[in-house]
Amino acid sequence: MISYNPRDWFTFIIRFHKADTFRQLLPLIIGISLYTGAVAWLEIYYWQLPEKHYLRNIPVMHTLLGFAISMLLVFRTNTAYDRWWEGRKLWGALVNNSRNMAMKLETILPLDDRKNRDFFRKSISAFAVALHHHLHKEQTRMELFEDEENRHVFQGIDWEKHVPNQVALLMHRQVQQLYRDGVFTAEQLLFINAELQSFTDICGACERIKNTPIPFSYSVFIKKFIFFYVMTLPFGFVFQLGFYAIPVTAFVFYVLASLELIAEEIEDPFGGDANDVPTETLSRNIHRHVGELI
């Protein structure tokens, strides 16, 4: 039975993680607070507006637009989370397919065939590492590829081209060569074909997410909507709340802007942020698991 400590709940409230939106929005929150304070001072001490002034009806607009902005933000966050979750499922499939292929090769390859076992153990792991660096637009030539004992495995890679495709191509070539040499039968070739094909399928699906961002005009519209919505809040709140409108307006801005920031961060699951899919950790797990199987 899982025990629950109520203190943990309060710890998350008072502790500011590096990915918390409060840190990113703090300068804007301070600016909104100063702006609200200036509006409150003008309305209370300078303008001294009468009881029946039209500005008192501004909350009616906020009530009407509040529903619209909430629906837009819900759609925005759901769309962004769907992209993040799809990226996580793709890398989960890569983990499973790498294990499955390693298990199949372990049973098919002769126990004394150290050369081919070594090749597939390193190339399956290398594909995950190459895909991680490819999605993060990082240089892929690293220790796994440049180590002296690995050079004979990856000597056919053209580093100026699509590296994950190059690694997958090496595996396809090796499998076909084993079939021609009689090590693999036709049935065994079909037996591992699904895992071989899945590598490039997963890579293409990840590239689709990476290279197809949310339309810029849609994101800009939501930011402008939030800005003008929050900028008009003090004019209505001051009549009912006085200077208490300062923390209320700041809190409303924090909630709305945080939802937009969270959506921006998770819509690219391979951007390298704290909340993105941990592709580096997953590629290391693949490297370890494949090494255990083959």
Per-residue pLDDT 10s for the chain (294 aa) are: 445 566 665 565 556 555 577 788 888 999 999 999 998 888 777 777 666 666 666 777 778 788 888 888 888 889 999 999 999 999 999 999 999 999 999 999 988 888 889 999 999 999 998 999 889 876 555 555 655 556 666 666 777 788 899 999 999 999 999 999 888 888 988 889 999 999 999 999 999 999 988 888 888 888 899 998 998 888 878 877 888 889 999 999 999 998 888 888 888 899 877 788 999 999 999 999 999 988
Which ranges of 42-185 does DSSP label H, i.e. alpha helix? 58-108, 114-135, 143-146, 151-154, 163-180
Domain count, the chain: 1
Domain coverage including residue 158: 39-46+56-294
Asked whether residue 115 is assigned to any structural domain, the reply reads: yes
Which amino acid, 3?
A: S
Helix then strand then coil, in percent of the chain rounded to 5, is 80, 0, 20
Asked whether residue 106 is assigned to any structural domain, the reply reads: yes
Asked whether residue 252 is assigned to any structural domain, the reply reads: yes
Rounded to the nearest 10 degrees, the angle between the axes of helix 58-108 and helix 216-241 is 140
Asked whether residue 82 is assigned to any structural domain, the reply reads: yes
Query: What global pTM score does this model have?
Result: 0.83
* Integer Cα distance of 189 and 183 in angstroms: 10
- The SS3 assignment for 48 reads coil
Asked whether residue 33 is assigned to any structural domain, the reply reads: no
Asked whether residue 25 is assigned to any structural domain, the reply reads: no
Asked whether residue 28 is assigned to any structural domain, the reply reads: no
Radius of gyration of the chain (CA): 28
Asked whether residue 233 is assigned to any structural domain, the reply reads: yes
